[in-house]
Structure 1
Amino acid sequence: MKTLIAAVIMTAAIATSCTEQAKNPLMEAKWNTVHQTPPFAQIKVEHFKPAVIAQIEQAKQGIDAIINNAAEPNFENTIEALEGNGKELSRTLGVLFNLNSAETNDEIQAVVVELSPILTDYSNDISLNEKLFERIKKVYEQRGTLVLDNEQKMLLEDTYKGFVRSGANLTPEQKDKYREISKELSLLSVQFDQNELGATNAYELIITDTTKLAGLPEDVVEAAAAEAQAKGKQGYLFTLQYPSYVPFLKYADDRSLREQIWLAKSKLCATGDSTDNQKIVKRTAELRLSLANLLGYKTYADYALENRMAQSAEKVNSFLAELLEKSIDYARGDVKTLEQYAAKQGFTGKLMPWDFSYYDNKYVTEKYSVNDEMTRPYFQLEKAEEALFMLANKLYGINFKLNKDIPVYHPDVLAYEVYDENGDFLSVLYCDYFPRAGKNSGAWMNTFREASAQERPIVVLVNNFTKPTATKPSLLSFDEFETMLHEFGHGLHGIFGKGKYASLTGTSVYRDFVELPSQIMENWATEEEYLKLFAKHYETGADMPADLIAKLIDKKNHNAAYANVRQLSFGLNDMAWHSITEPVGVSVEVFEKSANGKAQVLPTVEGTMMSPSFGHIFAGGYAAGYYSYKWAEVLEADAFNRFKKNGIFDKATATSFRKNILEKGGTEHPMTLYVAFAGAEPTVEPLLEKMGLKR
C-alpha cells in the first residue's frame, strides 16, 4: 500500500513538475523566438526562482555524471564535459542579471538577493568538490602528453587554475571559511549595487523659479520639464543621471545649485541613510583580504593580479606612479589656466569642483570656438548609430539589420541582426539608449549568450542618452558619441567571438585586456575622414563645416593631463583598498583621501568620496583592476598607430585586428594575441604623444 501511495505521489509530483515547466518559459529547452532570443513578454518575475533552483539541480546531476564516470579522466569526459554543464542555468541567469541592471524593480531585486547565497553555494559546491577536482587534476598533470590545440590548452589551464584559485586545495576547515566569506561577499555586492541605484533614483533637484535655469540650453530645460511632467511634479526636474547631471554642471549659471547637485553626486551612498555603502566598502575590503590570505596571498591585489597582463601589484603601482609623475604637473597647469580664465570672467574666490566644468566649457568655447551645443546638432542619435554600423562595415564588412520580430525587454530597446560580409549570421545586438527609473546609470556592454561552437552570441549595448522630446530628437554631445563608440567596441568583441567554448569567447579575457577593443574605437571620433562621412545637421542635412571639424579635432587633447590624473586617482583608490594587509581602522573618507591625495588637483570637499558609489570595484568585477583603463590606453594608442600608418579604414589592418584580437577572445594569452596583430609589444610612448604630454 505504501509503495502504491509513493508511486501516486511521485506521479503527481512529476505531473506538477511538468506543468510548472510548461508554464515557465525559462525552463523550456528551446525558445520559439528569432535566434532563440529571450521571450521577454512571457517571462515573469515569479519564473526566476523555480527555474534557477531546478536548473541548479540539473547542473548538479551533470557534475555527478562527470564524477561517477568509470572511465579514466581525460579532456573530453572531464574538462569539456564540465565546460558544457549548466548551460540552461547560465541562460536563465543571463536574463535575470541583465534585467536587474537595465530594467529592474523591487521584485527583481528581491529575487536577486534571495538567489545570491543559493548561487554562491552552488558555485562553491562545484569548485570545492574534491572528487571533481581530483579528475581535473589528473588531466592537468597529463597536459604534457595530451594532443590539444591552443584553445583546449587554454581551457584546461583556466579550469585547473580556476579551481585552485577558488579553494580546491584548502583543508575542510578552510573550505568552510571560504564558503562563508564568498557568500557574504556575494550579498554585499548585490546590496551595494541596489543602494547605488536606489540613491541615484531618489535624488531630485526641482526648480520652479525659471530665473534659476539661466545658462542651461533649451534642450536641457525641455528634458527637465518632460522629466518633471513624467513624475507628476511641477517645474523642472534634474537628476543624477548623466544626461541631466553633466549638462547642469556645465551650463547652469546658478553656482549654489551647481554645488548642490555636485555634492549630491559626490556624497552618493555616503550620507548615513539606508543607502549608505560605507560599511559595505570596508567590510568588502576586509573580506577580500581574508579570502586572499586564506588562499595564500598577502593581499587581494596579489591574488587578483595573478590572472592579469600586469601580473603583480608592484607592476601596477609602478605603472600608475609613472603615468602620474609624467602628467601631474601638466594637470596642475590645466587647473591653473582655468583659474586664471575664471578670474578674468569676474570670478572671485577658490575654484571648486562644481565650478570646473562650468568655466571649462566657457574657456573651450572661447579658445577653440567650439562647444557641445555647436556640435550636438550633428550627432543625432539615429545618425550616430548609422555611423557606427557604417564604420563596422568599412572595417569588417559586416551589416546590421533591424528586426522588430525579435522580442525586447523594453519598448525603447532596438534589436538588430548582425551578418558577416559573406551573409553568415553573426549575432543579435540589442541597443538600449535611454535612462529610466529601473536602469543603472552609466554605459555598459553585456551578453545574454556567449559565442560557442553551437551558438552565436546575443549582445546588448546599454547607454543613458537624453531622450527625444516633442520638438527635438536625441542629440548627443561629443563625449556621448565617444561613449557610444566605446561600448560599440565592446559589442564587436562579443559579436565576433569565435571558438568552441563559451567561457573563452568574446570579452572573456584578462581584465586589463578587455578595454582594448572598446578604447581603440574612440579614436575614430576625432578622425576628419570619418566625421565627413556622416556628421550632418539634423534639421538642414548640411555637412558639419570643415572648420568646425578642425576645431573639434584641435581640442581633443584639451585637459588631457587633467583627465588622465582623474582616472589615475580612481586606479590608486582601487589599488589602496585591495592592498591592505589588515582591516581598515579609519573612515572611508580618510582612507580614500590618503590613497589618492597625491592625484588631487582640485580642492577636496569634506564628506565627499568616490568609494561608496564606486560600483566598478565593489559590485562590478574591477577589484584591483581599475588600472585596466589606463593599461588599455597604452595598448590602444599603440594599436591605433597601425591604422594611422596604413589608413583608418584599411581592410588588412582591420582584418588582422579582427582575427587576432576580436575573434580570439581568451583562447590565447593576450600579449601573444597583441604581438600577432602589432608585430611587437606595446610601448607607452604613443599614449604620451596622443595626450600631448611629450612636450
Structure 2
Amino acid sequence: MTASIDLAAHPLTNWTGEHGLPDYAAIDQADFEPVFEAAMAAHLTEIEAIAGDDAEATVDNTLKPLELAGEALSRVSAIFWGLAGADTNPHIQALERKLSPAMSRHFTAIAMNEKLFARVDALWEKRDRLGLDGETAQVLEKTWKGFVRAGAKLEGADRERFAEIGARLAELGAAFGQNVLKDEAEWELVLDEADVAGLPDDLIAAMASTAEARGHEGRYVVTLSRSLYEPFMQASDKAEFRQAAYEAFTNRGSLSDETDNAPIIAETLKLRDEKAKLLGYPTFAAFKLDNTMAKTPDRVMGLLEPVWERAKAVAENDRKALGRLAADAGQNAEIAGPDWRYWQEKLRAERFAFDEAELKPYLALERVIEACFDVARRLFGLQMVERPDLKGWHEDVRTFEVRDGDGSLRGVFLADYFNRPSKRSGAWMSRLQSAHKLDGGDMPIIYNVMNFAKPQTGQPALLSMDEARTLFHEFGHALHGLLSEVTWPSISGTSVSRDFVELPSQLYEHWLTVPEIMQSHLRHVKTGEPMPQDLMDKLKAAQDFGQGFATVEFTASALMDMKYHAGAPADDPIAFEAETMKMLGKPDAIAMRHRSPHFQHIFAGDGYSAGYYSYMWSEVLDADAFEAFTEAGDPFHPEIAQKLRDNIYAAGGSADPEKLYSAFRGQMPNPDAMMRKRGLLTEAGREI
C-alpha cells in the first residue's frame, strides 16, 4: 500500500489551496494511515542520506538538510493531529492510538541513528571553530541536546528499553486524552424550563442550543465544557444541580471504569521516572527542567510556595465573607466546592455593584475579535482580512489573511471558536506550517481553537470576561507564530522553552482592558453603545476580586505536577493527590483547576509535565513587561512595541530567553509585579 502513495501529489502532503492551505474537502480519512507510512519511510530515506554522507560534517550538509527533512510527514501530521484535537471521530481516535507509539518509535530511531548523531556530535565538538552566527549556534545546541535527551548516547539494552518507554508513553497519553474526551462528550445535565428560571438569558440560550444539538429539543443542557459549566455554577440557585455538575466536572477522566485514568497515571509516572534515570537524571522533573529558564525543581518551588501561602490567606478571608453572605441568606452549612463560584458572584455584586451578566452584553464574540485584531494593528501594524471562501476542517472554522502594514501577505490565521462533542476541551494555538527563511522559507499558517458555547442560529455569542481573556491569550500565541522572523524552522515562533512560551500570550491579555480598546470595541450587543465609564470603573475595581480562589485553584495543580515528578512515582496517584493536598493545606472548598484524572496538560502527552508552573513563571514576566508600557504612559508606545516585536514575538528561540527578555526590558523581573497584578500583596486595599 505504501508504494502506491505519491506524496508529491497527495492532498494530505501536497497542499494546493490558495496561500498553500490544505484542501480539506479533498481529504479521504482512510488515506491517513498509508500516507503516514509512506511519509515516515520517505523521512527515513532522507535521514539515511544525511547519515551516510562520507564528507566531513558541515552546517550545509548535516544541520540544514536535517532541519528540512520530513516535510511530507510534517504536513500529514499537522492535518491529522489538528483533527484529533478539534474534530475527532472513532476512526481518527483508533488511528491516534496506533500512530502515537509508531511516531514515537520513528523519531526515537532517528535520534538513535549512530551515524547521524556522530555527524551532529562532530559539529558540536568543533562549534567554536565554525564561526556560527548566534541563531545557527542556538540551533546546533538545541539539535545536539535534543539527540542526547532522546537517548542518542544510550547503548545496548538501555537503548531498546528507552525506545519501548517512549512508545508506551505515547500510547498512554493518547488513551488518557480520549478518556477525558469521552467523559466530557457523554455527561450532560438535562433540565426543564423551571430549572433554569433566573439564569442569565445568554446562558439559557446557550443551554438550549446545546440541548438541541444533543437531541433534547425544548430542554436545556449543561455539559462539562467550561463555557457552560462555570457560568452555570455562578448563576444557578439550585444547589442540587450545582452539586451534580461539580462532582462530574471534578471527576472527569474517572466517571466510569471504562474511562478511569488512574492506572494510566500510575504507569505514566513510573515510565517517566525510569526514562529520566536512563538519561542520568535523579527525577523526571530534573530532566524536564534542565532545558528551561527555571532549570531546577527548587527554583520552581521557590516561585510557587510563597504565592501559595499568600493565596491561601486571601482565599480564607474570602471564605469567611462568603460564609457570612450565605448565612444571611439562610444557608447554614459551610461553603463547599459547589457553592464557591455561586456565592463569590453574589459577593462581587455586593462589593462592587457588578456582576458578569451586566458585562456580557458588551462582550459579543465579534466585538472581542475586532478588539483583539485592532490591538495587533496598533502594536504591530497587522491587518486581518477575513476570507470566507477559504475553508478549514469544519464549517465553524474562519480563515483570515494576515497582512503587514504595507499590505504584503505575512501569513494565514484560522480560528475555530465553538464547542462541539468532537473537540477536546480547553483552548490552544497550533500550526499547520511554521514560518522560516531556510532554503526559500515558508509562510506561517497558524490556528486557534476555543470552546465557547455556540449560540442559537441568528443570536450573538456572548463571552464571559475569562473567555474574552482566553481569546486574547490564544491570539497572543498566534502572533508569536505569525510574527516569527527566524531562519531555522526548529526555532520558529513558539519553539522556545516551556516557561517562556506563555509570555507572548499572557502579555497580550493586558490589552483587552486598555480603556481605548474597551471604548472603541466593547459595545452593547443590542444598542451599539460603548461600555459606560461606570461599568469600566466597576470592572477595574473588581479585577482583583476572586484572585485568592483563582490562584489557589491554579497553584494547587502546579504544585501537584511538581510533587508527581520531583520524587518517587506514586503507586496510587489518586490517594497521593489527596495526601499532597492535605499536606499543603489546600482549602477543601476550592478544587484544583485540573485534578489528576483530567490533567491533560501533563498526562495527555508530556508537553507541560513538570512544567505547569510555567504559566505563573511567564506571568512574572508578562506583568513586568506590560509595566514598560504603563511607565511610558502609552499602551501602544511605538518604540516599546517595536522592541517587543523584535525581541519577543519575532525572535522565536533564536537566543536564550533571559537574553531576549533583557533585550526588551533591560533586566529580569522579580515576582512582585505578578503578585501586584493578581492583587495578592493586598486584599481590598489592605496588607495581608
Counterpart residue identity of residue 209, structure 2: A
Structure 2: which 5+ residue stretches go unaligned?
682-686
Counterpart residue identity of residue 260, structure 2: D
Aligned with residue 562 of structure 2, among 565, 575, 593: 575
Counterpart residue identity of residue 533, structure 1: S
Equivalences for residues 141-156 of structure 1 within 5 A: 141-156=125-140
| Residue 612 in structure 1 maps to residue 597 in structure 2 | yes
Which segment is superposed worse, 517-526 or 639-648?
517-526
- 3-state DSSP of counterpart to 2:670: coil
Aligned residue number for residue 518 of structure 1: 505
Preserved contact between residue 552 and residue 590 of structure 2 (Cα < 8 Å) = no
Preserved contact between residue 223 and residue 469 of structure 1 (Cα < 8 Å) = yes
Aligned with residue 634 of structure 1, among 620, 624, 631: 620
- Count, aligned residues: 675
CA-CA distance at 1:350 after TM superposition: 1.1
| Residue 105 in structure 1 maps to residue 89 in structure 2 | yes
Counterpart residue identity of residue 233, structure 1: H
Preserved contact between residue 205 and residue 455 of structure 2 (Cα < 8 Å) = no
- 3-state DSSP of counterpart to 1:596: helix
Measure the CA separation in 2 of the matches of 1:233 and 1:422: 51
Preserved contact between residue 135 and residue 655 of structure 2 (Cα < 8 Å) = yes
- 3-state DSSP of counterpart to 1:178: helix
Aligned residue number for residue 71 of structure 2: 87
Preserved contact between residue 589 and residue 609 of structure 1 (Cα < 8 Å) = no
| Residue 367 in structure 1 maps to residue 354 in structure 2 | no
- 3-state DSSP of counterpart to 1:26: coil
Percent identity between the two aligned chains:
37
Which segment is superposed worse, 36-45 or 211-220?
211-220
Measure the CA separation in 2 of the matches of 1:638 and 1:46: 50
| Residue 165 in structure 1 maps to residue 149 in structure 2 | yes
Question: CA 1:316–1:33 in 2, change beyond 3 Å: closer, same or farther?
Answer: same
Counterpart residue identity of residue 542, structure 1: E
CA-CA distance at 1:580 after TM superposition: 2.4
- Per-residue Cα deviation, 1:288-326 (whole angstroms, up to 9, x for no partner): 000001111110000000000000011111221122233
Which segment is superposed worse, 510-519 or 555-564?
555-564
- Per-residue Cα deviation, 1:177-211 (whole angstroms, up to 9, x for no partner): 00111110000001111111111001011113x32
* TM-score where L is the length of structure 1: 0.94
Measure the CA separation in 1 of the matches of 2:301 and 2:13: 47
Measure the CA separation in 2 of the matches of 1:151 and 1:88: 25
Which segment is superposed worse, 391-400 or 109-118?
109-118
| Residue 428 in structure 1 maps to residue 412 in structure 2 | yes
Aligned with residue 689 of structure 1, among 645, 658, 676: 676
Aligned residue number for residue 591 of structure 1: 576
- 3-state DSSP of counterpart to 2:23: coil
Aligned with residue 196 of structure 2, among 210, 213, 232: 213
Aligned residue number for residue 225 of structure 1: 208
Counterpart residue identity of residue 410, structure 1: H
Counterpart residue identity of residue 623, structure 1: S
| Residue 78 in structure 1 maps to residue 65 in structure 2 | no
Equivalences for residues 19-418 of structure 1 within 5 A: 24-28=10-14, 31-208=15-192, 210-234=193-217, 235-418=219-402
- Per-residue Cα deviation, 1:18-58 (whole angstroms, up to 9, x for no partner): 6x658731243xx2211111110011211111111111111
Counterpart residue identity of residue 620, structure 2: V
| Residue 532 in structure 1 maps to residue 519 in structure 2 | yes
Measure the CA separation in 1 of the matches of 2:164 and 2:673: 46
Aligned residue number for residue 684 of structure 2: none
Preserved contact between residue 461 and residue 488 of structure 1 (Cα < 8 Å) = yes
- 3-state DSSP of counterpart to 1:446: strand
Preserved contact between residue 403 and residue 415 of structure 1 (Cα < 8 Å) = yes
CA-CA distance at 1:327 after TM superposition: 2.9
CA-CA distance at 1:373 after TM superposition: 1.0
Preserved contact between residue 140 and residue 156 of structure 1 (Cα < 8 Å) = yes
Which segment is superposed worse, 70-79 or 302-311?
70-79
- 3-state DSSP of counterpart to 1:268: coil
Measure the CA separation in 2 of the matches of 1:228 and 1:394: 41
- Per-residue Cα deviation, 1:600-621 (whole angstroms, up to 9, x for no partner): 223479x998101000011151
- 3-state DSSP of counterpart to 2:60: helix
Counterpart residue identity of residue 515, structure 2: E
Measure the CA separation in 2 of the matches of 1:57 and 1:693: 54
Equivalences for residues 441-460 of structure 1 within 5 A: 441-453=425-437, 454-460=441-447
- 3-state DSSP of counterpart to 1:41: helix
CA-CA distance at 1:344 after TM superposition: 1.7
Preserved contact between residue 486 and residue 492 of structure 2 (Cα < 8 Å) = yes
Measure the CA separation in 2 of the matches of 1:111 and 1:290: 27
CA-CA distance at 1:272 after TM superposition: 4.1
Counterpart residue identity of residue 165, structure 2: I
- 3-state DSSP of counterpart to 2:151: coil
Preserved contact between residue 592 and residue 609 of structure 1 (Cα < 8 Å) = no
Aligned residue number for residue 608 of structure 2: 622
Question: CA 1:381–1:70 in 2, change beyond 3 Å: closer, same or farther?
Answer: same
- 3-state DSSP of counterpart to 2:12: helix
Aligned residue number for residue 8 of structure 1: none
Measure the CA separation in 2 of the matches of 1:679 and 1:276: 49
- 3-state DSSP of counterpart to 1:447: strand
Counterpart residue identity of residue 482, structure 2: I
Measure the CA separation in 2 of the matches of 1:22 and 1:654: 42
CA-CA distance at 1:219 after TM superposition: 2.2
Preserved contact between residue 303 and residue 671 of structure 2 (Cα < 8 Å) = no
Question: CA 1:272–1:379 in 2, change beyond 3 Å: closer, same or farther?
Answer: closer
Question: CA 1:239–1:557 in 2, change beyond 3 Å: closer, same or farther?
Answer: same
- 3-state DSSP of counterpart to 1:336: helix
Question: CA 1:21–1:139 in 2, change beyond 3 Å: closer, same or farther?
Answer: closer
Question: CA 1:364–1:343 in 2, change beyond 3 Å: closer, same or farther?
Answer: same
Preserved contact between residue 340 and residue 589 of structure 2 (Cα < 8 Å) = no
- 3-state DSSP of counterpart to 1:584: coil
CA-CA distance at 1:215 after TM superposition: 2.9
Measure the CA separation in 2 of the matches of 1:653 and 1:103: 40
Question: CA 1:603–1:565 in 2, change beyond 3 Å: closer, same or farther?
Answer: closer
CA-CA distance at 1:366 after TM superposition: 1.9
- 3-state DSSP of counterpart to 1:433: strand
Aligned residue number for residue 505 of structure 1: 492
Which segment is superposed worse, 81-90 or 320-329?
320-329
Measure the CA separation in 1 of the matches of 2:333 and 2:574: 25
CA-CA distance at 1:407 after TM superposition: 2.5
Preserved contact between residue 209 and residue 454 of structure 2 (Cα < 8 Å) = no
